[in-house]
Structure 1
Amino acid sequence: MVRFSDSGGESDVPSDVGLAPVIPLFAPSASRAAAPATADVPAVRPAARWNTTWDDDPVEGGNDGPRGAFDTEDGDDAGQDGIERDIAEKNLLKRLRSRSLSVKEARAVVAERDLDDDAVDAVLTDFLGRGYLNDAALAEQLIHAGVDRKGQGRQVIAQTLAKRGIPRDVADAALAALPDDDVERALEYARGKARSLRDLDREVAVRRLTGQLARRGYPGSVALTAARQALGEGDSGGAGVRFR
């Protein structure tokens, strides 16, 4: 059986052989043309636009908008304040390990860092609560050192308390508890120094010893009396100094 091809020519292909359908290459079929564009190919979405965190920020209104999750300006300030406070506390602890400090001295140490007054007060309050700072206890320590180790009189001890920043009322209370024994302590100190003056003329020795006592805070009359008595004990054959 002879079949005519679509081009008009004859075909020798037997009738029982199936032929593949002819699909036009350039003209879409009716069924394909009628199909919607989204049937086989998904619709192309427009390219997403990159939004910076401030595109939709409200001009005012705090951190309720999108900026709230990313706004770290306040957080950075708070973090920096925390770092400064930690450093200030460590510096203060380091100073306290070497010697006791008054509250006034501790404030100066903390103020070396970039902290406001409220933060400084908070650090000092914390250290006071822990017992690291105690002006009354420090005053007692200074008085004990002045009396027992340095042989100082009341006047010099009072000056030492003032220089260390001890409040006046705290210093006065501590000094009031100090026994009124300047004469005895001056004489004890003078006796200890009299032997070193053995090669001096008597009047020279008296003036020098009186000056030493005065520099330690003993009143002029107390210093002169103690010096003469200590040096006179040597003249009388006691344990004091024998002059030429």
Structure 2
Amino acid sequence: MGELLQFPGNRAGSDEQDGVERSSAPSRHPAGTARVDAAREPRSGRDDADAQDEARWAVPGVDDPSGPPRPEPTRASKRAENVAIAALTRHDASEGELRAKLVAKGLEPEDVEAELDRLRSVGLVDDAAFAERLVSRLRDRKGLGDQAIRSTLRGRLVPQDVVDAVLAEQVEDEEVAADRLQSVADDRARRLGSLAYDVAERRLTAYLMRKGYSGSSVRAAVRSALASAGIG
């Protein structure tokens, strides 16, 4: 009996040599380990739910990890953005004007174009929309004709093809244009009352031409304006 009670490790050899069949050894894990492991299982379920919530609330193109990575802003890109936003805050600007402003600040060409691309993508730079707004202001507030408007748009660095397209889309009714021309002529003629007729005529004609008007419509407007002002 004593030999049968010997434990493995007290003598060399295997169990098979002893002819003793060992029962499986009891678990050496602490009694609470099984409960801890069991407690861990629901956590993976919660993690999966959290992941599903994140996917549900993800913004396409922004939070999508499978999308193209967004470049980290650099010092140069942040400076370009600050310069551009400051310029747009002060006044409306064309893409060409913003490009000139960024270049004047010493920014590299690639940083300039990257910022302009960003501004176009969010709608802060749009030469066609800019030209449309400027045409309306120049007609209504400045009383300009199309020739002066065209020149002004080019001076604001709007591309020629954009200028042509916008003016073609915003063609004025002839009567509306004639009424505005006459209003501008009448207003100016009232300031020329002390001049001789020929001098007043010459000055008023030159003024209207600088406003972007020309042709027989100017001559007719000048005659009418001088007559209304009592110059003759």
* Structure-2-length-normalised TM-score: 0.62
Higher relative contact order (CA 8 A, sep 6+): 2
Aligned equivalents of 1:100, 1:243: Cα separation in 2? 41
Paired residues of 2:186 and 2:229 also in contact (CA < 8 A): no
Equivalent in the alignment of 2:131: 139
Equivalent in the alignment of 2:150: 158
Q: How many residues align?
A: 159
Give the letter aligned to residue 241 of structure 1. Answer: A
> How many Å apart are 1:111 and its aligned residue?
2.4
Question: Does the C-alpha gap of structure 1 residues 112 and 200 become closer, same or farther in structure 2, counting only changes over 3 Å?
Answer: closer
192, 199, 215: which is aligned to 1:197? 192
Cα RMSD over matched residues? Answer: 2.2
> For 1:131-161, what per-residue CA distance to the aligned partner results, in whole angstroms no more than 9, with x for missing partners?
1111111101211121111111111100111
Aligned equivalents of 1:113, 1:143: Cα separation in 2? 29
* Structure-1-length-normalised TM-score: 0.59
80, 84, 93: which is aligned to 1:92? 84
> For 1:17-45, what per-residue CA distance to the aligned partner results, in whole angstroms no more than 9, with x for missing partners?
xxxxxxxxxxxxxxxxxxxxxxxxxxxxx
Question: Quick check: 1:120 aligned with 2:112?
Answer: yes
Runs of at least 5 residues in structure 1 that lack an aligned partner in the other structure: 1-77, 233-239
Question: Quick check: 1:207 aligned with 2:202?
Answer: yes
Aligned equivalents of 1:243, 1:229: Cα separation in 2? 10
Percent identity at matched positions?
A: 36
Aligned equivalents of 1:130, 1:145: Cα separation in 2? 24
Structure with bigger helix share is 2
83, 100, 105: which is aligned to 1:108? 100
Question: Does the C-alpha gap of structure 1 residues 203 and 118 become closer, same or farther in structure 2, counting only changes over 3 Å?
Answer: same
182, 189, 194: which is aligned to 1:187? 182
Equivalent in the alignment of 1:226: 221
> For 1:40-68, what per-residue CA distance to the aligned partner results, in whole angstroms no more than 9, with x for missing partners?
xxxxxxxxxxxxxxxxxxxxxxxxxxxxx
Aligned equivalents of 1:191, 1:113: Cα separation in 2? 45
> How many Å apart are 1:223 and its aligned residue?
2.1
